[in-house]
Structure 1
Amino acid sequence: MIVWIDALAADSAPPIFGLSLLERHLHGLRGLKPLPSRIIIDLAAGRSEPKLGDKRLYRLPLEWRRSGEAYAARLGQILASAGSEPLLVLDATTLADGRLPAALAARTASTVVLSREAQDPAAILFLAGDRAVVAGELVANPGSTAALARRLVDSGGIPSLKDDEFSGFVRRLRRTLPYYLFTVDGAGRAAKLERFLFWSNYKGSTDLFTRYVYPPLVWLAVRPLARWRVHPNWVTLVSIILALAAIPCWADGYFITGFMMAYGMSVLDSVDGKLARLTFTDSVSGNYLDHGLDMVHPPLWYLSWAYGLGIATEGWASPLGQGAIAIFALYVIDRVVLKIYPYVFKRAFHTHSRMDGLVRSFIARRNISLPLFTVGYLIGFGREAFFLIVAWQAATTLYHAGRTFWILCIEKAQHKDRAPVEVAAKTVKLD
């Protein structure tokens, strides 16, 4: 496949989370397998090549052209040189869903992608096979990809992409997100789109604090970090330091200091993931660090709470010590049980039904247990709060085990082509 990006007016579009729209298009193309054979970028006459902040983008087969010719003439040249090879036409003044290039490359028929907003002219054009219908419309000298795409759809020459032709389920986010495509024509529009992307990158099923309490703080952190091009792995490393440093604080009885570190870590745990997805900087090492921390630190926190509350003097045979051992064992069992469902269905347990998605918002997890223990400790009921958390972890483990047995053995739902169930709103409003 050949890709042509019309970037003559790219400088008029402000960046989104620190990345130019051209860089965002290139990141979307970076995920194609195989890579395009050519990526031709048209710049305005006399314009120098823009600096690409990510070295991985330079591994793409980039070809820079400079031209002052009309749009129709430039596309006509690309069509002539492409021959019968599929051609993807992009505009560097549009914000496009990074999933669209792969979805279009898999198609065998020419397709137009239009913006979901009726008044937004943004468009993408994918040409496969015969180009006669496009050549015919070029005679009318359309001035942009958007104008050409609209003419092709209105004339019936090329159909537009339908919702049921695009698989929008995002496994890592546990939700379905329809594709997006927007024109970016000013700073105000860019600010709205940053909000749109920010909320689109929240998981469909998550805990109440992550969904409703932490987002304002995450938003304040993500925007400047993205503009400064801070890699999310640095945020993850700070998060790891805070998570581990809180443990000796609690164990030694410095609970307030430990709480401050723990809540800082909890916010940063959302920041690094959002930053990685919004700036295309997610990495294998980052995922291992982030998810590894999420798996390991909660039981260590619980043990340090119990130790600071009195195990140091009462011993592990005391009710407090037995409670600490119980919650550690229950946590491990719970995590093992939750590995069974994804092994069968290739998606997260809490996407199975709306009920499971709802339960995810308040089950025994760090962001639920931490506030419960914080409140209990501050009002003088630290031990009672700890035993409540032990009981809640037991209930959570029982629910996951029972539900997994029901799904796999009673429902007989081992159909791998079963569509994921929606656990959250499908769309995020732009305004």
Structure 2
Amino acid sequence: MPGSVLLGRALARAGVDDVAAWDGTPTNGGLLLLRTDHVYDAALVGGLARSPGVLLCRPEDGRPVAAHLPAGTAAAPIAEALKAGRAPGDAAFAELRSVAPAALTDSYDRALRKRGNPYLLRLGLETRSAVEWEMFGGSYKGVTDAVTKHVWPRPAFHVVRACAALGITPNQVTLVSLMLVFLALWLFAEGAFLTGLLAAWVMTFLDTVDGKLARVTLTSTPFGNVFDHAIDLIHPPFWWLAWILGLQAVSMPLAEPVTVGVIVFGGYVLQRLQEGLFLALFGMEIHVWRRFDSLFRLVIARRNPNLVLLTLGTLIGRPDVGMLAVAAWTIFGCIEQVVVTVQAGLARRRAPLRSWLEQ
């Protein structure tokens, strides 16, 4: 999409409704001026909108690209200087304070669980691919499972790019994911484990795509957020129960199917409750407290790591062993989170807790 369209969406998110091309009309109120040949991180636009008297400069060469003019400031000379690409020392910018992008936002993004500076990128034919990759990387969560973090990024980038070009919305992608959830559930219950795993893995891939598509195109909505996260939250333990049922359908029943079912279903619920308790007690997610906790999130007994265990078991002809591995890993994950919660409680007695990503 044109950079101006994306910028308009970022401004709307920042609460700026009156958006138009600069025509030199005098104004008595505050004014935001931004070059449209650059791509701005949405958080950066929000920070600029909250900071009157600021001149935003590119980090690589210090050239000004945007400004927030306080009420009563003569806008025309500043607009012309921005368009001409003049240096911060130009007389037109004398009343403004020059800042880099990092000065307008928090380096720690709690929603995406990562640390980093907002992007401010010059957009042109020769920089388009690099800009798109940088934007995609900016939409990715920093703390997640190993498959999402290390396997999906490159293919997901191309699918997100295609969806954006074709006008496919994030909610449409999520709807396909939901259909695949039910397809995998049915196939697992029938004992068709390989085809079920194929449906499940495609679903997990699309689960990566929809969120990234929403963030890079600035089209996320409260409904879409609830729709996506509700699916993610609810379906995994039902897949594991369907898998146990499917083992009976292919004459490979577990010795204690009810016990294993209680472990994988109850353990999943318990892990989620533990995470909610940690958040309530300490004001942060359990996986962002220490570097070790973030690393353990790569392999903790959640959907994608469990699918890896089930896939390996199926490929060696022992889907029952795969499920037993999931049960054992679920027990270990629950114990590990109890230990982390106790450690955090003891550590808070000595000093307030902070995420390692904030330090």
- The TM-score with structure 1 as length reference comes to 0.76
CA RMSD for the aligned pairs? 2.8
The alpha-carbon deviation at position 349 of structure 1 amounts to 2.3
Gap regions ≥5 residues in structure 2: none
Distance 2:192 2:169 in 1: 32
The alpha-carbon deviation at position 136 of structure 1 amounts to 7.3
Distance 1:150 1:420 in 2: 39
The match for 1:180 is: 119
Name the amino acid aligned to 2:123: V
The alpha-carbon deviation at position 196 of structure 1 amounts to 0.8
The match for 1:111 is: 54
- From the superposition, tell whether residues 201 and 321 of structure 1 become closer, same or farther in structure 2 (CA, over 3 Å): same
Distance 2:14 2:350 in 1: 32
Q: How does 1:15-164 map to 2 (within 5 A)?
A: 19-33=1-15, 35-36=16-17, 38-42=18-22, 65=23, 74=24, 77=25, 81-83=26-28, 85-107=29-51, 109-118=52-61, 121=63, 123-129=65-71, 131=73, 142=81, 144=83, 146-147=85-86, 149=88, 151=90, 157-162=95-100, 163-164=102-103
Which of 331, 348, 356 is equivalent to 1:421? 356
Q: How does 1:243-262 map to 2 (within 5 A)?
A: 243-262=181-200
- From the superposition, tell whether residues 220 and 102 of structure 1 become closer, same or farther in structure 2 (CA, over 3 Å): closer
The match for 1:237 is: 175
- From the superposition, tell whether residues 176 and 314 of structure 1 become closer, same or farther in structure 2 (CA, over 3 Å): closer
Name the amino acid aligned to 1:275: L
The alpha-carbon deviation at position 214 of structure 1 amounts to 1.7
> 1:73-125 CA deviation, whole Å, 9 max, x = no partner?
x3xx4xxx322x22211111111111123212323x5111111222x846111
Name the amino acid aligned to 1:174: R
Pairs aligned (count)? 358
- From the superposition, tell whether residues 90 and 24 of structure 1 become closer, same or farther in structure 2 (CA, over 3 Å): same
> 1:329-348 CA deviation, whole Å, 9 max, x = no partner?
11111111111233345543
1:198 aligned counterpart, secondary structure: helix
Q: How does 1:171-320 map to 2 (within 5 A)?
A: 171-186=110-125, 188-310=126-248, 318-320=255-257
- From the superposition, tell whether residues 262 and 137 of structure 1 become closer, same or farther in structure 2 (CA, over 3 Å): closer
Over the matched positions of the two proteins, sequence identity in percent amounts to 27
Contact kept in structure 1, 2:247 and 2:320, CA below 8 Å: yes
Distance 2:84 2:232 in 1: 45
The match for 1:354 is: 291
2:292 aligned counterpart, secondary structure: helix
The alpha-carbon deviation at position 303 of structure 1 amounts to 0.8
Name the amino acid aligned to 1:92: T
> 1:156-212 CA deviation, whole Å, 9 max, x = no partner?
6432225355313222210123122122122x2111100111112111111111111
Contact kept in structure 1, 2:189 and 2:249, CA below 8 Å: no
Which entry has the higher C-alpha Rg, 1 or 2? 1
- From the superposition, tell whether residues 143 and 333 of structure 1 become closer, same or farther in structure 2 (CA, over 3 Å): closer
Distance 1:413 1:293 in 2: 39
The alpha-carbon deviation at position 312 of structure 1 amounts to 8.7
- From the superposition, tell whether residues 136 and 22 of structure 1 become closer, same or farther in structure 2 (CA, over 3 Å): closer
Whose helix proportion is higher, 1 or 2? 2
- From the superposition, tell whether residues 150 and 124 of structure 1 become closer, same or farther in structure 2 (CA, over 3 Å): farther
The alpha-carbon deviation at position 413 of structure 1 amounts to 7.9
Distance 2:193 2:124 in 1: 50
> 1:278-301 CA deviation, whole Å, 9 max, x = no partner?
111111121112111111111011
Contact kept in structure 2, 1:173 and 1:202, CA below 8 Å: yes
Gap regions ≥5 residues in structure 1: 1-18, 43-64, 66-73, 427-431
The alpha-carbon deviation at position 404 of structure 1 amounts to 1.9
- From the superposition, tell whether residues 128 and 122 of structure 1 become closer, same or farther in structure 2 (CA, over 3 Å): closer
Name the amino acid aligned to 1:98: A
1:411 aligned counterpart, secondary structure: helix
Segment drifting more, 109-118 vs 390-399? 109-118
- From the superposition, tell whether residues 168 and 300 of structure 1 become closer, same or farther in structure 2 (CA, over 3 Å): same
Distance 2:201 2:230 in 1: 18
Distance 2:266 2:82 in 1: 66
Distance 1:168 1:28 in 2: 19
